[in-house]
Amino acid sequence: MERLSCILRRKAASGAALALVILLQSASPALAANEDRFAGYTPAVRDQAGRVVAAAGPGADSAFEKEVRTLRKLMYAQGILSLNAVPDLIFERAVREGWRSRLSAPLRTAVAVSPLSASAWALLVKDDILDARIDELPGDFEGLVGVMRQSPPALLGYGAWLASYLSAAACWFVAWASIALFLRARPSLEGDLSRIIIIPPRDFIAAALAVVVFLLPLLGGQGLAVAACFWMVLSAGYLRRGEFVIVTVAVVLLAALLAGGGIIQSLNRMGSDVRGGGWLGGEGYVPRAWPVESSARRWSLAGTSSAWMVKFAKARAAMIAGDPAESERLWTELIRAGKGLPEVYNNRGISLAMQGKPAEGLSDFETTLAKRPRDGPALWNAYQIYLQSFNLERARAVQPVAWDSLRRMSPYYFKPADMEPGEWVASALPAGELGRSFVESEGGPAYDVGRSDYFLMFFRPLKPSGALAFLVMVFLAGGIWKILATRIWVHTTCRGCGTRTLIGGARESLDLCNLCRARIGGGVKGGGERDRRVQGIGMHRRYVRACSVLVPGSGALWAGKEFRTLLFGIVLALSMAGISASAGSQEGGAMISELRHAVMWWAAGVSALVWLAGAAWSIRSFGRFQDDYNVSGSRR
């Protein structure tokens, strides 16, 4: 994204630059997945993970389930919660070997060892929906929601997705609204342009000038926000009050886009460490590099305010690498630094127990339970210690609540009855802490508003400090022009027949000409005026129909259905945003790519339907409106 930003800053939209960006993007570390996906785990875990991937095959298979169970035991012995690379590799195999359509069963088995794989859960939900597996859907959906609650990368990812999707929808709405409103105002604007032209043929020059005015911001390389605001301000004077509401909504959405860009930029900056197997990937993926702590980096996870999270992830990495002593040291450092969260105590307890110090471990588990009495992992781990130390009375007392708490932990779906002594349940970094850090951080999204890719793309050439003021000015200018247009002589265009009339001191009441009000239709007089009017009506109808097809919903504006058109615009924008937020490069891995691909095609299909329905509705609305005023008739 940084490379992209630089290119946008220089306004270099040349094909060569674009190609370079795509090339560099495709070479990003996230996609460089050919290396050992299980680096960082103990040899036993790595070998067993490899056997699981190799055993996977189409349909349900007991041998595969046995391998998964074995891996799960090994994982819990090391305090490993999830191996997200397992479903990734199984998916790649399925695609490669042609049994992708029968992947659901082995994938559902595999999530037992990769419960924090958001991609796997999302893929299962998608397959459940497409294959109409209603019985499986609630469980898989619960797993997906559980990942969001338990996994910081997933929480960040879904947050970023939501912000991106809504931003794309806002952009689509603004583009749609501004063009539709400009086309609505175009005939009147053209009439007024012809008033200022001295050289004949004035009407031809005015027609060309209206096109030039429309294209001006595009040819000038302005961003979407600037272009849309330019069109909306020009149109405002010729619009009805209901249509001005659409202008208001568009301006508000542009302001929201500013904020959305800031949020995404902040999340991107925050997540920059995730990509390429950063520390946040520690819970499901193998970290390949750790961020360098630096106070100079304003609010990032490597910054001072969030450095404890890096230490948390390092301690977890040490645990899963089979180094309980190192992890114990890191957990202790965290506790001394004031970050004695229940998760930290629980994990240190496991590290101690793994080193043969059950009493110290039990002490930490009890501390955890003192802080959070219903903590499932701590209850289970304490129960394990009681069993190991033959404190059967205490074990019996704890067992029901420990089992019950563990069973409820989505998306892990622990089965305590199948679990054996020596299996530990570690605690992941609480996703809520990440959100808290995000909200409480200095600057945060507000700091990033002017640095976001969205700002560079959609608000150029504005400066970050002036963007909000610009939007306020746009709204005020539109309002002033609208009020002024009711007091000076400007053109209005009859919505029924397209006749242009120069009026002064009035606006909305006169957007239907007297002939349409009188329902005269095409019949005016016996002479040539009738032919001229019939021709005018025909040209107006063709214009509105063309607008309705190119910008669906715009015909309904001519029919006076502003608020229904506003709702239609929102629906269209939401469907089109599905394409923008899903299309593009393969970032995110094979499973996410397939999901994006599916969403993109679904969104494209829905968008096409909405587009066609909108065009048909617009044409029908306008046709009915004309019928109501007998515009298509020819009463003499």
Partner 1 sequence: MQGKISDFSIAEIFQLVANQGKSGSLTIRGGERETVFIFAEGGIIEVQPDRRAQSDLLGTMLVDAGLLTDEELRRMLADQAKAGKKLGELLVEKGKVSMETLARYLHLQVKESVFEILTLKEGDYRFEGFSVRLPPWMKSPIRADVLMMEGMQFLDEAPRYRAKFPAGDFRVSRKRNAKVDLTALPPGESAVWSAIEFSDDPRRIFRKAGVTWLEGIKGLWLLMDRGLIHVTVAETAEVRTDPGRAVRVEIARARILGWVRAVLWASAAVVTAGWIYVIFLSPMATGAFTGWAGFF
Give the C-alpha separation, 459 to 260, whole Å: 13
CA-atom Rg of the chain in angstroms: 32
Identify which range of 54-62, 266-274, 353-361, 379-387 contacts partner 1 by CB under 8 A: 266-274
Vertex 361 angle, CA 357 and 365, to 5°: 170
161 binds partner 1 (CB under 8 A): yes
Number of residues located near partner 1, criterion CB under 8 A: 88
Give the C-alpha separation, 448 to 443, whole Å: 8
Question: What torsion do the CA atoms of 297, 301, 305, 306 make, to the nearest 10 degrees?
Answer: -160
* 584-613: contacts with partner 1 (CB under 8 A): 584-585, 587-589, 592-593, 596
Tokens of 398: 């704890």
Q: Is 374 exposed, middle or buried (CB count within 10 Å of its CB: 0-12, 13-18, 19+)?
A: exposed
Q: Shortest Cβ distance from residue 274 to partner 1 (Å)?
A: 6
* 271-310: contacts with partner 1 (CB under 8 A): 271, 274-275
Pick from 157, 324, 450, 552: which binds partner 1 (CB under 8 A)?
Answer: 157
Closest CA to 454 of 231, 229, 250, 164: 164
Place of tokens 């850090």: 437
- Select 425 or 581, whichever has its Cβ closest to partner 1: 581
171 binds partner 1 (CB under 8 A): yes
- CA 320 → CA 194, 351, 454, distances in Å? 76, 10, 39
- Select 239 or 592, whichever has its Cβ closest to partner 1: 592
Q: Shortest Cβ distance from residue 283 to partner 1 (Å)?
A: 13
Identify which range of 132-140, 150-158, 413-421, 443-451 contacts partner 1 by CB under 8 A: 150-158
Query: What would the 3-class secondary structure string for 184-201 be?
Result: HHHHHHHHHHHHHCCCCC
Tell me how crowded residue 159 is: count the other CB atoms within 10 A of its CB: 20
DSSP states along 394-432: HHHHHHHHHHHHHHT-TTT---GGG--TT-----PPPHH
- Select 144 or 350, whichever has its Cβ closest to partner 1: 144
576 binds partner 1 (CB under 8 A): yes
Q: Which residues contact 494 (CB under 8 A, 6 or more apart)?
A: 500, 501, 511, 512, 513, 515, 516
- Select 561 or 596, whichever has its Cβ closest to partner 1: 596
Residues in the chain: 636
- Select 224 or 320, whichever has its Cβ closest to partner 1: 224
- Select 338 or 528, whichever has its Cβ closest to partner 1: 528
Q: Shortest Cβ distance from residue 220 to partner 1 (Å)?
A: 11
- Select 182 or 331, whichever has its Cβ closest to partner 1: 182
Site string for partner 1, 203-232 (x = CB under 8 A): xx--xx--x--xx--xx---xx--------
Give the C-alpha separation, 278 to 310, whole Å: 10
Question: What torsion do the CA atoms of 620, 625, 628, 634 make, to the nearest 10 degrees?
Answer: -90
118 binds partner 1 (CB under 8 A): yes
Site string for partner 1, 519-558 (x = CB under 8 A): --------xxx-xx--xx--x------x---x--------
Distance of alpha carbon 60 from the chain centroid: 34
Identify which range of 265-273, 372-380, 557-565, 612-620 contacts partner 1 by CB under 8 A: 265-273
Cis bond before residue 153 (omega within 30° of 0): no
Give the C-alpha separation, 587 to 160, whole Å: 14
Q: Shortest Cβ distance from residue 558 to partner 1 (Å)?
A: 16
* 37-76: contacts with partner 1 (CB under 8 A): none
Helix axes 431-440, 152-196, angle to 10 degrees: 40
Q: Shortest Cβ distance from residue 398 to partner 1 (Å)?
A: 37
Identify which range of 3-11, 297-305, 310-318, 474-482 contacts partner 1 by CB under 8 A: 3-11
Q: Shortest Cβ distance from residue 159 to partner 1 (Å)?
A: 8
Identify which range of 163-171, 369-377, 380-388, 610-618 contacts partner 1 by CB under 8 A: 163-171
Pick from 13, 54, 359, 608: which binds partner 1 (CB under 8 A)?
Answer: 13
* 458-497: contacts with partner 1 (CB under 8 A): 458, 489
Site string for partner 1, 495-524 (x = CB under 8 A): ----xxxxxxxx---x--x-----------
Pick from 20, 30, 409, 616: which binds partner 1 (CB under 8 A)?
Answer: 30
* 314-333: contacts with partner 1 (CB under 8 A): none
Largest CA distance in the chain: 111
* 418-457: contacts with partner 1 (CB under 8 A): 453-454, 457
25 binds partner 1 (CB under 8 A): yes
Query: What would the 3-class secondary structure string for 130-179 be?
Result: HCCCCCCHHHHHHHHHHHHHHCHHHHHHHHHHHHHHHHHHHHHHHHHHHH
Helix axes 307-320, 431-440, angle to 10 degrees: 160
Tokens of 221: 């390389």
Per the CB < 8 A criterion, the answer to whether 150 and 542 are in contact is: no
Q: Shortest Cβ distance from residue 405 to partner 1 (Å)?
A: 28
- Select 57 or 157, whichever has its Cβ closest to partner 1: 157
Q: Shortest Cβ distance from residue 302 to partner 1 (Å)?
A: 17
Report which residue type is found at 383.
Answer: Y
92 binds partner 1 (CB under 8 A): no
* 352-371: contacts with partner 1 (CB under 8 A): none
- Select 268 or 384, whichever has its Cβ closest to partner 1: 268
